[in-house]
Amino acid sequence: MLRIIASFFLLACISPLASSADRTCITDWSVAAPIVHKEKLTTVEALSRIASDRLSGSVIVRTALCEEQGEFSYRIIMRDAQGRLSTHIVDARTPFSR
């Protein structure tokens, strides 16, 4: 039960158009996809493969495209092999490059 509540809490953290200071995040991919294409950002499919490789088989549960002062990032919620959820913010052009 606690896992379900935690899942809903983390998913609520990424609202359809969440704003933090000057950051705008979009979860509606009919809006985000053209931006990804226009800005030549890493696609969600590629992001999923990269994240799985870098984070030991974790899978993306939810993704939002965020923009702050002209810089794009992805805010992602990941589920690891044990079912634990974690939130990551990665550069949308070169995710997990650090």
pLDDT, residue 3, reads 52
pLDDT, residue 54, reads 87
Tokens 């953290």 -> residue: 13
- Phi, psi dihedral angles at 26 (to 5 degrees): -120, 125
pLDDT in tens, 53-86: 888 878 999 999 999 999 999 999 999 989 999 9
What's the whole-model pTM score? 0.75
Query: Residue 90 carries which side chain, given as an amino acid letter?
Result: V
pLDDT in tens, 12-49: 444 444 444 578 999 999 999 999 999 999 999 999 99
* Residue-range domain boundaries for the chain: 2-91
pLDDT in tens, 38-48: 999 999 999 99
If residue 51 lies in a helix (H) or strand (E), which one and from where to where? helix 44-54
Helices (H), the chain: 2-12, 29-39, 44-54
pLDDT, residue 17, reads 43
